[in-house]
């Protein structure tokens, strides 16, 4: 019996050496530049997208194996990229991939790939090959929360369709926003990024682990390339294999740049315009709280919904008449003028951190929200409520709310 166990254990370990189940199965750290270059030469692929009925290649980008058969890339590599800046990555539908098929190119050879899932909100997507490709490596997923400004990184990909290209630079900023998506938490890098790099891995030089998925670059701007933190991909990867269920609670709040001038003399009027609060004492206390202690100001609470999906067991897109159903925020008694400080386990510093926290929460799973409220007397009170988000409703209904 012990001999059988020994044989099984050996076979299992041998299997891990050839095709590990995930990056966490790798008991290694890539320490030298040569090791990193060799490894990712066999893990990074070029993605070609073809449209049925057309003879030419429609789009190319990059991707990286994160399991022996699955590849992570950008959603805009999978679907068409709108040309209008006002609708950039905001008008996706399944029609843009209904007649598309995909190939991955690796070391000059092509392999058919199947579309698995995508999430335009985060611009992430997954493709899959039928079986492991001989000689392919699996990218080692790191922890993007440990990335530091000034850290050296490599950007792998296929710029302009040229295979196996790598650039290097440093991380120049974290948690950056540049207006492309509603959910933004970019790693900014100095490593040059060009069209075709999209979907490739951003790799830490210190251990060879993936810290981000390259998303975009700005032409003519040095040090302005962006990557999606790999922790975000790890958080939503189960949904990419099925259905992304984004949370929504039904509140509106100004974006950070919309309040940037509210700190000065005209700040009271700006906050009054957002909230309708006329008491100058309350306005002063709200302004002081937001700018001195942080948080997000609630400027509207949606009361009810109509024709939205509320049943967690129903198929995605099922519409139910719920015109008298109160929104989660309204049921929780969140008010205009409240300042949100914490959502779930996440501290709320500004509008972007709140958006990330709401999106990260699980629909129909109870969580907590902590807020500061100033009473009519001017007294500052802190409250913690339980709240149960629902599935994010269509844009036409949510009207800019979260």
Catalytic-labelled residue, pool 123, 185, 338, 350 = 123
Asked if 221 and 169 count as a contact pair (C-beta separation under 8 A), the reply is: no
49 CB neighbour count, 10 Å cutoff: 20
Contact between 197 and 214 under an 8 Å Cβ cutoff? The reply is: yes
Cα–Cα distance between 339 and 68 in angstroms, integer? 46
CB atoms within 10 A of CB 370: 17
222 is catalytic: no
According to DSSP, the residues that pair with 115 across neighbouring strands are 127
- The interaxial angle of helices 280-293 and 267-275, nearest 10 deg, is 100
Q: Which of 75, 76, 204, 361 is catalytic?
A: 76
Of the candidates 367, 167, 338, 92, the residue with the CA atom closest to the CA atom of residue 249: 367
**Cα–Cα distance, 159 to 235 (Å, whole number):** 28
C-alpha 125/C-alpha 73 separation (Å) is 5
198, 216, 247, 401: which one is catalytic? 198
Dihedral of alpha carbons 334, 335, 336, 338, sign: negative
Q: What angle do CA 177, 178, 181 make, to 5 degrees?
A: 85
Rg over alpha carbons for the chain, rounded to the nearest Å, is 24
Active-site residue flag, 198: yes
Specify whether 383 is catalytic: no
Q: Is 283 helix (H, G, I), strand (E, B) or coil?
A: helix
Helix residue ranges per DSSP H, 187-314: 230-240, 267-275, 280-293
SS3 of residue 359 by DSSP: helix
Residues carrying an active site annotation:
76, 123, 198
């Amino acid at each position: 019996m012990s001999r059988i166990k020994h044989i099984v254990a050996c076979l299992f370990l041998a299997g891990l050496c050839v095709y590990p189940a995930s990056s966490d199965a790798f008991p290694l750290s890539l320490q030298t530049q040569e090791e990193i270059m060799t490894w990712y030469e066999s893990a990074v692929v070029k993605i070609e997208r073809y449209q049925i009925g057309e003879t030419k290649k429609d789009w190319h980008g990059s991707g990286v194996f994160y399991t022996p058969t699955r590849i992570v890339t950008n959603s805009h590599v999978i679907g068409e990229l709108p040309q209008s800046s006002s609708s950039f990555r905001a008008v996706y539908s399944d029609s843009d991939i209904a007649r598309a098929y995909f190939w991955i190119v690796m070391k000059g050879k092509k392999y058919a790939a199947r579309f698995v899932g995508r999430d335009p909100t985060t611009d992430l997507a997954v493709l899959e090959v039928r079986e492991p490709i001989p000689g392919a490596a699996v990218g080692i997923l790191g922890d993007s929360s440990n990335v530091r400004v000034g850290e050296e990184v490599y950007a792998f990909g296929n710029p302009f369709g040229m295979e196996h290209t790598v650039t290097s630079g440093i991380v120049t900023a974290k948690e950056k926003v540049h207006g492309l998506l509603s959910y933004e938490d970019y790693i900014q890098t100095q490593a040059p990024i060009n069209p075709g790099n999209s979907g490739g891995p951003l790799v830490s030089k210190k251990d060879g682990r993936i810290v981000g998925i390259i998303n975009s670059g700005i032409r003519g701007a040095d040090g302005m390339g962006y990557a999606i933190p790999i922790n975000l991909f790890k958080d939503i990867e189960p949904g990419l294999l099925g259905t992304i269920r984004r949370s929504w609670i039904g509140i509106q709040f100004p974006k950070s740049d919309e309040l940037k001038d509210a700190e000065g003399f005209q700040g009271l009027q700006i906050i009054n315009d957002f909230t309708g609060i006329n008491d100058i004492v309350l306005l002063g206390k709200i302004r002081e709280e937001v700018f001195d202690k942080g948080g997000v100001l609630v400027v509207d609470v949606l009361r009810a919904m109509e024709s939205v999906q509320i049943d967690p067991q129903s198929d995605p897109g099922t519409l139910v008449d719920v015109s008298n159903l109160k929104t989660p925020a309204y049921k929780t008694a969140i008010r205009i003028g409240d300042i949100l400080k914490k959502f779930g386990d996440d501290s709320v510093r500004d509008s972007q951190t709140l958006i990330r926290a709401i999106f990260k929460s699980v629909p129909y799973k109870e969580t907590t929200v902590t807020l500061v409220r100033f009473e009519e007397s001017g007294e500052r009170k802190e409250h913690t409520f339980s709240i149960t988000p629902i599935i994010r409703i269509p844009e036409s209904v949510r009207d800019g709310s979260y």
